[in-house]
Copies of this chain bind each other. A is one copy, B any other.
Amino acid sequence: MPTDFAATRAMFHLPHGVIYLDGNSLGPLPRAAAARVAACVTDEWGDMLIRGWNAAGWMDQPTRLGDRIARLIGAEPGSVVLGDTLSIKVYQALASALEMTPERRVILSDTGNFPSDLYMAEGLCRTLGADYRLVTVAPEDVAAAITDEVAVLMLTQVDYRTGAKHDMAALTALARDKGVVTVWDLAHSAGALPVDLAGCGADFAVGCTYKYLNSGPGGPAFIYVAPRHQDVVRPALSGWLGHEAPFAFDLHYRPGTGIERMRVGTPPVLQLAALEASLDIWDDVDMADLRARSVDLCEAFIAGVEAACPDLTLASPRDATQRGSQVSFRHPDGYAIMQALIAQGVVGDFRAPDILRFGFTPLYTSDADVQGAVAVLAQIMASRSWDRPEFKARAKVT
């Protein structure tokens, strides 16, 4: 039975009068999450107190939910664990990956990668010293830059600005041929499109849950380690919950079994409860259906905007197979245009210097949302109503 996206849409709280095309920044509230979090607070924390670690299953939640995310990203059972933030998981994956080829010194990435990934890599290289270094090339030059000098290839599969999608299978194969370890950031992939980590032979992957996976603001990140590496990889961030026996309180670290060793500190129980409610929706979603619907929504939006707004330039690949689940347009006054859109209830994102970014999330984006967004954008562009001081003044966070 095909996924019923009208039914999934009804499972989200979508504020009246808002067309929300920013679920690639922060997913909306699954209706069931409010009750699930409240139960976690009142019935679990409140009534069970410390017993909640066992009785409410808090301790195993990071791997239990990890297995549910695994299905969405083509990962093997037992190969994904939740925790920390995406930046920390990037660091953890990179530090672990670099140790696998100690004679190599280069982390290769691209200039389209999300800056935090690059910052964490820079920080790690400086901490490691020697001649460890981060090398970035343009996204289209990555394949040619994969040489046997490279230790780790770190890429975000879908570009956060343009939505352009790397070919994970091809680049991972190229990397493997050169003895390069891969770290894939799935921030804009997990829940956005089918991913096949196992099929591609990826080594490590990381991602966040507050975008397409709708876990709420500050929801935890996840890390994937290919089963073939799980029992040999050394976690640089060696915390007690990654220890073989955390409650033995040994003075020395012994890595835990399998993916457990990538755990670090105490898991964020309230945030995980929200994620759990979201995954109850995801469990019934077929990823091929999701992709087909995502492409339809994106194509309709591109066609509508291009027909009505000649001043906007498509910044995303025109070929749907080259895109994630977002569409971006460029305009020199992109910031003001986005503010004008938001003022009329169409919520997208601006990304410096000139990108208007719109996320399409089949679980709750409707055809009417697409048509409504096109109509508002067309009216704003035709009337130049964005050209006002209140829309041009920049807030701290956009």
Contacts and interface: CB of A to CB of B under 8 A. Distances in A.
Interface of A: 13, 15, 18, 20, 22, 25-26, 28-29, 33-34, 37-38, 41-42, 44-47, 49-54, 58-59, 84-88, 91, 95, 111, 114-116, 118-120, 122-124, 126-129, 136, 208, 210, 216-221, 234-241, 243, 247-253, 264-272, 274, 347, 349, 351-352, 395-398
A266 B118 contact: no
Contact of A88 (B218, B237, B243, B269): B237
Given A22-B49, A115-B243, A247-B352, A253 B59 contact: no
Copies in the complex: 2
A272 B270 CA distance: 10
B349 A50 contact: yes
A396 B247 contact: yes
B127 A264 contact: no
B266 A217 contact: yes
Main secondary structure of the interface of A (DSSP, over half): mixed
A218 B123 contact: no
B126 A128 contact: no
Contacts of A127: 95, 127-128, 236
A314 to B, nearest CB: 20
A269 B114 CA distance: 21
Contacts of A29: 41-42, 45-46
Contacts of A351: 249
B217 A251 contact: no
B58 A46 contact: no
Given A217-B52, A271-B268, A347-B50, A238 B15 contact: no
Nearest to A47: B15
A265 B119 contact: no
The 8 closest A-B pairs by CB, nearest first: A85-B265, A123-B238, A116-B240, A217-B269, A87-B239, A218-B268, A87-B265, A119-B253
A46 to B, nearest CB: 4
Contacts of A397: 53-54, 59, 247
A332 B174 CA distance: 59
Nearest to A52: B217
Contacts of A18: 49
A210 B266 contact: yes
Given A42-B29, A218-B266, A352-B247, A395 B54 contact: yes
A240 B54 contact: no
